[in-house]
Structure 1
């Protein structure tokens, strides 16, 4: 009981008696210091009981476990959307509010999700971080690389319904139909 009171009083006094030996971080509670030290040591002491996933924090493990259990404790009040992570719910709520907090510094593009802005910024920078390990192909978008990789695998999932033509990319099939079977286009 005395420990709890001492810890509580530190919120008011600002006292931070626990110090990190790796950096200048200080805190009022020993458990906070233990959590912080993991950022330096990389220790992953929490393990998933379903797979070989390991992590540093109990909260992170609890969130990971939901991928196995299917638990979705967060529900949208406006629609039937449910999710397992609170940050996903915050992002989803932007659909209802129409808010687009992420803005491009080069043009007037705005979006509601940060990683979408990051992808957009590549149109200005020309950055293509996704590269094929078989040839010199590079792309700004990971899905484009995945589609490109099908050309190397030989897998031809898309078949023409007017002839024997098959290909690995849907846009190639559309171009084939447009040029070889123009009469079929309404």
Structure 2
């Protein structure tokens, strides 16, 4: 057991298996108890590089058919079998099996963003976030779907997209019949069984199941809006909000309802719309017989049971049960009016207000 400092792991992972490759890159001298180099010996980094070309994966799990190029990858995989999460944050109790995840998590408390863009003032807590941002400058989207032409900056995003064509949901819950196309979606689902919400805001004690949700929530305190439209001065705290905004410029609404002709830019929006025809209400309250067509409606209802209002305004102390309501409230301080009429120069802080305005044009 290692001595833990502030934010340090409470235990050091132990190698519970040898995990050695089946082929040996040198001679073993039993009398001296160490490997003796030969003329053919190459360094471990060189060996790992060679395996990326040959496809060799010598480190094999003895509990399933997983294999890896590097021993460290095998050790990370083995933690899934043991359930061991030795790295623990002393501030909020978050635990993980990887040191890199632990260090990333600590930045949610410190606010440190060491990865900086050399073309603008953007900075990020994670390197991959910077890589995603840099693609906005280059416009490069090298990964393309062969079925619909969808392009993206990341291989993982393309993999997730492909599941919309295949319907494949390989990540299955071991406590119910739920399955998901993406592991992170399954992880969020599992918290419904465990009740675990390891990520906590240091400003207002808001808790969530996802580190991403926490980072987005923190923007309600900082006012940060890192997602900027390249066609106007609009900016957003969430990428999904920017994507919605961009559709106003392109006019692209590729998803259409076969019942009434309603069109939208998003598949998820169409799915929600279809429930107005089917009457389906898949989101059920576990404390009464209430059910809802949308998750946001259920979240609002659950807040009535709990009386919980985790979202707080840093300006005046106003509290809300839903993040959406806090975002609307913040506009009373910022004066932001993101909803714009496409027929005149009117703009509004609330979407409902803009809808009422549209009636003046009829």
Deviations 1:10-60 (A, max 9, x none): xxxxxxx9577476xxxxxxxxx5x45633653543311222122354443
- Whether contact under 8 Å (1:139, 1:145) holds in the other structure is no
For 1:21 and 1:100, the matched residues in 2 are separated by 44
- SS of the aligned residue for 1:68 comes to helix
Q: Which runs of 5+ in 2 are unaligned?
A: 1-31, 168-256, 277-351, 357-362
Matches within 5 A, 1:12-91: 18=37, 21=40, 33=43, 35-36=44-45, 38-39=47-48, 42=51, 44-91=57-104
Q: What is the number of residues matched between the two proteins?
A: 152
Q: Which residue of 2 is the match for residue 169 of structure 1?
A: 267
Equivalent of residue 128 in structure 1, options 114, 137, 141 = 141
CA RMSD of aligned residues (A): 4.3
For 1:147 and 1:41, the matched residues in 2 are separated by 31
- Residues 1:113 and 2:110 aligned together: no
For 2:136 and 2:112, the matched residues in 1 are separated by 23
Q: Which residue of 2 is the match for residue 97 of structure 1?
A: 110
- Whether contact under 8 Å (2:48, 2:70) holds in the other structure is no
Deviation at 1:175, TM superposition (A): 9.0
Q: Name whichever of 39-48 and 114-123 sits farther off.
A: 39-48
Q: CA 1:38/1:149 → structure 2, altered by over 3 Å: closer, same or farther?
A: closer
For 1:107 and 1:40, the matched residues in 2 are separated by 34
For 1:71 and 1:37, the matched residues in 2 are separated by 31
- SS of the aligned residue for 1:118 comes to helix
Deviation at 1:165, TM superposition (A): 7.0
- Whether contact under 8 Å (2:144, 2:158) holds in the other structure is no
Q: CA 1:172/1:20 → structure 2, altered by over 3 Å: closer, same or farther?
A: farther
Deviation at 1:132, TM superposition (A): 1.2
For 1:61 and 1:79, the matched residues in 2 are separated by 28
For 1:45 and 1:130, the matched residues in 2 are separated by 29
Q: Name whichever of 166-175 and 117-126 sits farther off.
A: 166-175
Q: Which runs of 5+ in 1 are unaligned?
A: 8-16, 24-32, 155-159
Runs of 4+ in 1 over 6 A off after TM superposition: 163-168, 174-177
- Whether contact under 8 Å (1:138, 1:145) holds in the other structure is no
For 2:37 and 2:98, the matched residues in 1 are separated by 31
For 1:41 and 1:130, the matched residues in 2 are separated by 25
Deviation at 1:80, TM superposition (A): 1.5
For 1:39 and 1:45, the matched residues in 2 are separated by 10
TM-score, length-normalised on structure 1?
0.61
Q: CA 1:19/1:91 → structure 2, altered by over 3 Å: closer, same or farther?
A: farther
Q: CA 1:20/1:57 → structure 2, altered by over 3 Å: closer, same or farther?
A: farther
- Whether contact under 8 Å (2:117, 2:130) holds in the other structure is yes
TM-score, length-normalised on structure 2?
0.34
Q: Name whichever of 132-141 and 103-112 sits farther off.
A: 132-141
More helix by share: 1
- Whether contact under 8 Å (1:131, 1:145) holds in the other structure is no
